Amino acid sequence: MIDLADAIALVERTARPLPARRQRLAAAAGAMLAEDVLADVDSPPWDRAMMDGFAIRSADMAGRGDDAIEFDVVLDLAAGDTTARTVASGACARIMTGAPVPPGADAVIPIESALDGTAGARAGARVRLREPRFRAGQHVGRRGAAFRAGQPVLRAGCRLTPAAIGLAAEAGATHVRVSATPRVAILSTGSELVPVEAIPAHGRTRNSNGPMIASAVERLGAEPIPLGIAVDRAEAIRAAVAQGLAADVLVLSGGVSAGDLDLVPSIFSACGVEQVFHKVRLKPGKPVWFGQFDRGDAAPRTLVFGLPGNPASSLVCFELFVRPALAILAGRPAKQWHLPRVRGVLTGAARSASDRPVYLPCRLVGDAASRGIEPLPWTGSSDLASLAIADGLVVIEAGQRAEPGGEVEAVVFPYGGLPR
């Protein structure tokens, strides 16, 4: 049995980032870029009208203050139109937002500045424009002002937020290299388990760990591969484990504690999985097992977690051990490996003074300035009812007497169960 901090450090040292992968841009939303995105065009790609109006030479308008000035409209340009014709002094082009500013012109007077009913003037007509606050070059997006072809527009490590997706699209990135999406095989062991669709007979219970772990894996941006239920017989578990070892991670629950039907550690060993640790000073979650498997062929090693079968223990171990492993495989920065922690004042009685650190479901009350941590009623490690509405887990350190009013720490789930 090892200390919790040592166990977490072993997970952190064993997990290695998976190779980045090339992904269609539209399918990469939310992912982390593994390399810079370079633009293949300037942006704007040409001098572009930013308003509907009339494209002129700045020299024709500069310094004219309140004067109304008349121009010959020589061109009509909508978005998508182009012209080689030059706008001379005294002339202008009627131009729509998004159209290229024609040669010669370098500023746009908005349509609202046309006087005497000339706002609708087209090529061949005349328009009277007044622009008291005229600035040279106004309302023109200059070619390359945002970025230049060949420049990086997004750096490795950026998240593909909606704006970043738009920017990458503008830069021509149909595909991007992003951090890996770990593939996580999920197996529940136990002869008592039946699928959620079944009505459990006496002695049976539903497989809640499978859907729970799959959902937690998905929340972390990884890909769950549900392997269902294996009964407590060596050949059944061995076959399912062999299948799971083809994934990047195998998360198995059940069969890792002290009983003679806890076959899992010996099956792991028979399958060639190298044990890193078994049993951790932690409550709930003591029987947790962790190892790695060499897939050969230069493939990354498969990380293998044996979580306790009780659902609450299983979830606590997932959050403490599997979460950082998946974050590391996905190439996330160290700050994102673990659940955030807050300190606060314990507002109620919590089971305390164990010889192991205890993680119990809690609600956060008050605000950051005056944080209360309220333990939730809990009937034991198979009870998901309070975990389902918990904001996080209050941590009672080994030997700590957790009295109401005392200061404690909590790890906080990145999602809340109850509406506020």
Among 70, 116, 218, 235, which residue sits at the site for a copy of itself (rule: CB under 8 A)? 218
Measure the CA–CA gap between 308 and 267, rounded to whole angstroms: 16
Pick the closest to residue 324 from 335, 315, 313 (CA basis). 335
Under 8 Å between Cβ of 16 and 246: no
CB of 401 to a copy of itself, least distance (A): 18
Neighbours of 4 (CB within 10 A): 21
Under 8 Å between Cβ of 359 and 283: yes
Tell me: does residue 390 bind a copy of itself (CB under 8 A). Answer: yes
Instruction: Name which of 29 and 276 has its Cβ closer to a copy of itself.
Output: 29
Pick the closest to residue 293 from 318, 314, 317, 276 (CA basis). 276
Tell me: does residue 221 bind a copy of itself (CB under 8 A). Answer: no
DSSP-assigned states of every residue in 338-351: S--EEEEEE-S---
Tell me: does residue 310 bind a copy of itself (CB under 8 A). Answer: yes
Work out the burial of residue 343: count CB atoms within 10 Å of its CB; fewer than 13 is exposed, 13-18 middle, 19 or more buried. exposed
Tell me: does residue 382 bind a copy of itself (CB under 8 A). Answer: yes
Listed ranges 2-10, 59-67, 106-114, 244-252: which one lies at the site for a copy of itself (CB under 8 A): 106-114
Q: Would strands 341-346 and 370-375 be described as parallel, antiparallel, or unpaired?
A: parallel
Measure the CA–CA gap between 254 and 40, rounded to whole angstroms: 53
Tell me: does residue 167 bind a copy of itself (CB under 8 A). Answer: yes
Binding to a copy of itself (CB under 8 A): which residues in 34-53?
A: 40-41, 43-46, 48, 50-52
CB of 72 to a copy of itself, least distance (A): 19
CA-atom Rg of the chain in angstroms? 32
CB of 301 to a copy of itself, least distance (A): 26
Binding to a copy of itself (CB under 8 A): which residues in 334-373?
A: 335, 368
Listed ranges 59-67, 148-156, 272-280, 352-360: which one lies at the site for a copy of itself (CB under 8 A): 148-156
Instruction: Name which of 141 and 245 has its Cβ closer to a copy of itself.
Output: 141
Tell me: does residue 117 bind a copy of itself (CB under 8 A). Answer: no
Tell me: does residue 97 bind a copy of itself (CB under 8 A). Answer: yes
Tell me: does residue 203 bind a copy of itself (CB under 8 A). Answer: yes
CB of 272 to a copy of itself, least distance (A): 26
Contacts for 25 with CB less than 8 Å, ≥ 6 apart: 165, 168, 169, 173, 174, 175, 176
Q: Which amino acid is at 297?
A: D
First vs last Cα of the chain: how many Å apart?
A: 40
Tell me: does residue 111 bind a copy of itself (CB under 8 A). Answer: yes
Listed ranges 65-73, 205-213, 239-247, 341-349: which one lies at the site for a copy of itself (CB under 8 A): 205-213
b/e code 392-405 from CB counts within 10 Å (16+ = b):
bbbbbbeebebeee
Measure the CA–CA gap between 209 and 387, rounded to whole angstroms: 13
Among 66, 133, 260, 297, which residue sits at the site for a copy of itself (rule: CB under 8 A)? 260
Tell me: does residue 88 bind a copy of itself (CB under 8 A). Answer: no
Listed ranges 80-88, 126-134, 178-186, 394-402: which one lies at the site for a copy of itself (CB under 8 A): 80-88
How many residues lie near a copy of itself (CB under 8 A)?
A: 113
Instruction: Name which of 110 and 291 has its Cβ closer to a copy of itself.
Output: 110
Tell me: does residue 291 bind a copy of itself (CB under 8 A). Answer: no
Diameter of the chain measured on Cα atoms: 97
CB of 318 to a copy of itself, least distance (A): 8
